[in-house]
Amino acid sequence: MAINVSIAENSLPPPSATPTSGAGVLDVRLPPPTTTAKKLQHRLLEIFFPDDPLHRFKDQTLSRKFVLGLQYFLPILQWAPHYTLKLLKSDVVSGLTIASLAIPQGISYAKLANLPPIIGLYSSFVPPLIYSVLGSSKHLAVGPVSIASLVMGTMLREAVSEEENPTLYLQLVFTATFFAGLFQASLGFLRLGFVIDFLSKATLVGFMAGAAVIVALQQLKGLLGIIHFTSKMQLIPVLSSVFNENNEWSWQTIVMGMCFLIVLLVTRQISMRNPKLFWISAAAPLTSVILSTALVACLKSKLPDIQTIGKLPEGVNPPSANMLFFSGRYIGLAIKTGIITGILSLTEGIAVGRTFATLKNYQVDGNKEMMAIGLMNMSGSCTSCYVTTGSFSRSAVNYNAGAQTAVSNIVMAAAVLITLLFLMPLFRYTPNLILAAIIITAVVGLIDYKGVYELWKVDKLDFLAALCSFFGVLFISVPIGLAIAVGISVFKILLHVTRPNTVPLGNIPGTQVYQSLNRYREAVRIPSFFIIAVEAPIYFANSAYLQERILRWIREEEGWLASNSCSDMKCVILDMTAVTGIDTSGIDLITELQRMLNLRSIKLVLVNPVGSVMEKLHHSNILESFGFEGLYLTIGEAVMDISSSCKAEP
Amino acid sequence: MAINVSIAENSLPPPSATPTSGAGVLDVRLPPPTTTAKKLQHRLLEIFFPDDPLHRFKDQTLSRKFVLGLQYFLPILQWAPHYTLKLLKSDVVSGLTIASLAIPQGISYAKLANLPPIIGLYSSFVPPLIYSVLGSSKHLAVGPVSIASLVMGTMLREAVSEEENPTLYLQLVFTATFFAGLFQASLGFLRLGFVIDFLSKATLVGFMAGAAVIVALQQLKGLLGIIHFTSKMQLIPVLSSVFNENNEWSWQTIVMGMCFLIVLLVTRQISMRNPKLFWISAAAPLTSVILSTALVACLKSKLPDIQTIGKLPEGVNPPSANMLFFSGRYIGLAIKTGIITGILSLTEGIAVGRTFATLKNYQVDGNKEMMAIGLMNMSGSCTSCYVTTGSFSRSAVNYNAGAQTAVSNIVMAAAVLITLLFLMPLFRYTPNLILAAIIITAVVGLIDYKGVYELWKVDKLDFLAALCSFFGVLFISVPIGLAIAVGISVFKILLHVTRPNTVPLGNIPGTQVYQSLNRYREAVRIPSFFIIAVEAPIYFANSAYLQERILRWIREEEGWLASNSCSDMKCVILDMTAVTGIDTSGIDLITELQRMLNLRSIKLVLVNPVGSVMEKLHHSNILESFGFEGLYLTIGEAVMDISSSCKAEP
């Protein structure tokens, strides 16, 4: 059923004039009729397949479809056939560059997760190989990252001490990694990738900065040479640990640590100022490790206070599938840790992948990436790796070093393999302080001052969300800080829906345009009409508010009319253009408003309800009470039609 | 800074034509400049004082303001001075009518909360008196209600058995009632009344129906005469309890119970069919109690199986302030129970108050009502009352019996007082089965078949929310059922924001109206243009989706253009009318979209951004990249201006 509403044809004269002759007919129309099943199907397609992933398969032969399908799941098949020697040259350079970063960072980040350094190297070997087969980003450099390492370390250490029970701790780490991978792959497979969108930019800016501060402060342990350090992650216990244990401070460690830290920070600054010199900051960590190791090895007797990594086992990743557990006391903790580190590492990986894809104009399919990262972590958990993803810092170096395909990850893995097989004894005298300095240099980049300022400038509530997640992480805990920030982001959406804008409109003289009276000074009220736009869907969460607010607008408007001795209000026009949805409570609101206005002999008119709203109004039979004269396509038509019909019956 | 955009004056010819002469100038304008503090103030006023509660005080003398203020907090001062004998007559009749309902229901509902029956009568005495002073509804009949009684009983019984530890149980009840009142009063005082809006109609319909089924099934204990009954509230344990204990079934109880149940249900039906006969169902419970008590008292020796209430103490409410506790093991449970029963009873009370206020055309101020109900419960907790609110069934009877003011509550309280002082011994032989029959009759009305059908017809997701809360209550537990339903309602809002509609628009020939191509068959594409409307705020939660979706629309449109050998797409117009908000992620989306389209030599144009969006676009400096030609007030202007400038530079 369509409610027909006559309106004058094309260009409408100003509202006070009578309609021109030759009027056409235009309806406020329902969307084409469709079944509930069809609507559900459309809705589900929009939820799960907004990118229409099958469009490549349309109008293709069966064999071509098979090849395309294989290429979809194994992107390596897309680019490997066209791989050239020239590409290889670039990839080898970039692969070796990121390896020189990945090896010291791998060892350092493993320490952050309270793991033996070797696990960090294991995690820089298997996952990059798997990603190079499954992943669709050309620039992602895969391996352990600081945030996920930190969160995993914090969450597991609360239940199990890695010193007292190293085997159980390792089991927990691998199991959590397995669940992280499972969670990531499921999100991708079930096409629920939008879950990570709920970690808004504002949330992440605050969270990253908070985590960076915590991580940097924790490194004071290594930089100052403190032995007995708190296992807590909050600001206060860490700081008190630093200052209470000042008898353990070692001046040798402090001097050496500070020197290397300054060198690393300076090289980072140089590369940031001039991206062409990226290799300076890329080479600095490995160079520092070599230098400091050599220094400690030579002056061992003179530097007795400096703590070193110690002996590391040689050889490639041992299998660890037998260390996974799927029941018992700690299974809940493992799943929780897996989900949180999984979502964090996914967010980082996807964001990094998208950033560099945008720079080089190719597409990264979020859901496919999630499956790739998830499978990579699941396999990693069976080969002694902990949670890995695309690292922002290493991917940036990879990009700047000219990486062309995922082969750079393979080259990096090869370099790590050589290290694992032959170079492990060299790390024996590597001092812990250099790892601390490397971590600090890496996490400093996570503090995004400019981003925070931008948030403040554009959106105060976003800024508040960032602030809360920053302080939440700093003073309470990482998961709670994250939860607070997500809560604020969701609250912001709800607030927008709960307290929507309502804007009284006026006509801009000489046009058919109706705009906010507040924003457009020249807009004028139309005598006897009160036009109001509702700027939100009308839902249970705001229908009570909207009713109160609209009645208050009418009350205030009537007061204004009385004090300016204008004619009485005869018609309230509700501009529904921005009412993008309505539910049963919203329909009740409209019924109620109509009833209350009718009691005061004021007519209520709806203008331009969108398709889905129109449909619901129709189903609820409320349209019948509006009839032919209560529904218009534009405000101009409504004003003209009603004022002319008022004149007709004076 | 305002971006000036020239448009042709008033009535625009169809887009292909050249602009008429005498063109005026109209800007897409920023809202008037204002400070952050002012904006914050405006926002906070909208959040907490949308109804402008102080408008009555404007332009009044100081003494008048004082009187108005007193009347605001004590509504009795508003109506008491004008109280007449005629009003009193109506109120006495209605007060006595609801007393005849309140006494048996009070006793029954107390049983539902596992409390001694006398507490139900206490709770029907003090709270109505307090409400009549503080409350602003004229028809609300105050006392214990079934849902809140059930929820309180269930939640407390899980921790403490009322049989093993009756004193602790009572302490818990009063403490929970105190916290319920405190929570309610705080919501009102802090003007956070919108919290209860999150219990949507759909949620409540399902929840009430589920609770009604549970309550009714629980009454089988009394109706069948079972002694050993489960203390659980879920469907399965209750049903298994009924059938496993069939050796305890007592045929005397069953026969008598069924007879009274049928009588009560029939009288209810009669009153529902003919509201004028409301007194039949109003009188039925008390009559049944009297009849059944007399029957049992006379035939005591012949009906040994029938369980009776037993001896009840006489006298008015003893003080119970000394039984409240504010620390210890159970404080968490008391607070949780208080908040949940508080919010449930508040929802019922406010909804009932609003319903009857609407019928008689007066306003009930939600926040003020919350304070009244809250203070009533806080005082109740100190005078041996448990949680009370406005009951739907008794308020309906009150309304039908012609109640004019809150004096009917005073009359009811007086009747309860007389009962407490003199008539308690009469209840000694009242059989439990009659209480069960009264409860069943009362809760049957909570199952709203028609409401559920309406939900199905209008909004499938609302229907799903109702279904989930129904089954959640039935199979899991009352608080979890409630939580699921609220979760679904919130999820629905988030889904709407996460997956917003995007609608390609076309021009309706002969007009300046642009509408959905899908909904309006006569709408036509404009060559070289692609016009798309986004129907939601652009937030972090949907910016990734929108980017993908808009690019897909463009891809599909380009395919369509190619297959119909039309001219290439030159300009994408984004209709922002319904984009009611934007955040930093949304701004990134627009920047990104512009960049990607520019790479393909397609122009991106924004049309009619609302005030707050315009402001944020301005603050983020993105407007500069759009410049004078990227921002228009209407689609018509954009199309005309751009197509004419394209012709100018062929």
Residue among B26, B361, B552 minimizing CB distance to A511: B26
Q: Which structure tokens are listed for B124? A: 């029907």
Averaged over B135-151, what is the pLDDT?
Answer: 91
For B151, B334, B602, the CA distances from B325, given in Å and listed in that order, are: 20, 9, 70
- Which is nearest to A118 in space by CA: A127, A106, A100? A106
The segment with the largest mean pLDDT, out of A474-483, B229-238, B376-385, is B376-385
Using alpha carbons, list the distances in angstroms from residue A575 to A80, A303, A517, A532.
Answer: 56, 78, 14, 6
Tell me, what's the pLDDT at A1?
36
Mean pLDDT for the stretch of residues B371-394: 93
What is the model's pLDDT at position B271?
Answer: 85
- Tens digits of per-residue pLDDT, B247-298? 888 888 888 999 999 999 999 889 888 878 888 888 888 899 999 999 988 8
Task: Give the number of other Cβ atoms within 10 Å of residue A516's Cβ.
Answer: 17
What pLDDT, on a 0 to 100 scale, did the predictor assign at position A314? 86
| Cα-to-chain-centroid distance, residue B588 | 36
Structure tokens at B275: 């509201």
> What does the pLDDT read at residue A16?
35
What pLDDT does residue A4 have? 40
Phi (first) and psi of residue A504, to 5 degrees: -75, 135
DSSP string, A329-375: TTHHHHHHHHHHHHHHHHHHHHHHHHHHHHHTT----HHHHHHHHHH
**Secondary structure class of B31 (helix, strand, coil):** coil
* Inter-chain touch B518–A611, beta carbons under 8 Å: yes
Q: What pLDDT was estimated at residue B20? A: 35
The encoded tokens of residue A452 equal: 């925070």
Q: Does A49 contact chain B (CB < 8 Å)? A: no
Tell me whether residues A578 and B610 touch, CB distance under 8 A: yes
- For tokens 């999984």, the residue is A342
Report the candidate in B475, B473, B464 with the shortest Cα–Cα distance to residue B446: B473
B587, two tokens? 């701004």
B22 alpha-carbon distance from chain centroid:
54
Residues 480-509 of chain A with CB under 8 A from chain B are 489-490, 492-501, 503, 508
B 133-192 residues inside an 8 A Cβ radius of A: none
**The listed CATH number (3.30.70.1710, 3.40.50.170, 3.30.750.24, 1.20.1070.10) that belongs to domain B501-648:** 3.30.750.24
- B 591-610: CB under 8 A from A: 592, 596, 599, 610
Among A523-537, B8-22, B601-615, which stretch is predicted with the lowest mean pLDDT?
B8-22
Stretch B235-250: mean pLDDT: 83
Contact A231, A471 (CB under 8 A): no
Residues of B in contact with A361 (CB under 8 A): 596, 599
Angle formed by the axes of helices A584-599 and B201-218, nearest 10°:
110
Across residues B147-164, what is the average pLDDT? 88
The DSSP annotation for B56-76 comes to: GGTT--HHHHHHHHHHHH-TH
The Cα B534–Cα B497 span in angstroms is: 11
For the segment B390-422, what is each residue's pLDDT rounded down to a tens digit? 988 889 889 888 889 999 999 999 999 999 999
Task: Enumerate residues 575 to 594 of chain B having a beta carbon within 8 A of any beta carbon in chain A.
Answer: 577-578, 580-581, 583-585, 587-588, 592
User: Contact A385/A148 with Cβ under 8 angstroms?
Assistant: no
Q: Does A6 touch chain B (CB under 8 A)?
A: no
Contacts of B152 (CB under 8 A, 6+ apart): B113, B173, B176, B337, B341, B386, B387
| A281 touches B at CB < 8 Å | no
Measure A624 CA to nearest chain B CA, in Å.
15
Sequential DSSP letters for A78-130: HHGGG--HHHHHHHHHHHHHHHHHHHHHHHHHHHHTT--HHHHHHTTTHHHHH
Residue A649: its pLDDT value, please? 58
Show residues of chain B in contact with A458, CB under 8 Å.
583-584, 587, 616, 619-620
Q: What is the mean pLDDT of each run of 10 residues along chain A (650 residues)?
A: 36 35 52 78 80 76 87 87 91 90 90 91 95 92 92 88 90 96 93 79 85 87 82 82 82 89 91 83 88 89 81 88 90 93 91 83 84 95 95 87 91 94 88 88 85 85 86 84 80 82 88 85 87 89 87 86 84 91 87 88 90 85 77 88 74
- Name the residue with higher pLDDT: B532 or A361: B532
Q: Is the ipTM of this complex over 0.90?
A: no
Q: What is the DSSP letter of A176?
A: H
Distance from CA of A63 to the nearest CA of B (A): 24
State how far residue B379 is from chain A, nearest Cα, in angstroms.
29
> Could you say which residues from 351 to 410 on chain A have a Cβ atom under 8 Å away from some Cβ of chain B?
358, 361, 366
Contact between A565 and A596 (Cβ < 8 Å): no
* pLDDT at residue B24 greater than cutoff 60: no
B477 in contact with A, Cβ within 8 Å:
no
Q: With an 8 Å Cβ cutoff, are A194 and B544 in contact?
A: yes
Q: Using the beta-carbon criterion (under 8 Å), do A200 and B583 form an inter-chain contact?
A: yes
Q: A499, B46: Cβ pair inside 8 Å?
A: yes
Chain A closest CA to B115's CA: distance in Å?
35
Q: What are phi and psi of B314, to 5 degrees?
A: -100, 170
Query: Which has the closest alpha carbon to A27: B503, B10, B522?
Result: B522
DSSP letter assigned to residue A474 = I
Q: Where in chain B is the domain with CATH 3.30.750.24?
A: 501-648
Q: State both tokens at A144.
A: 């352990």
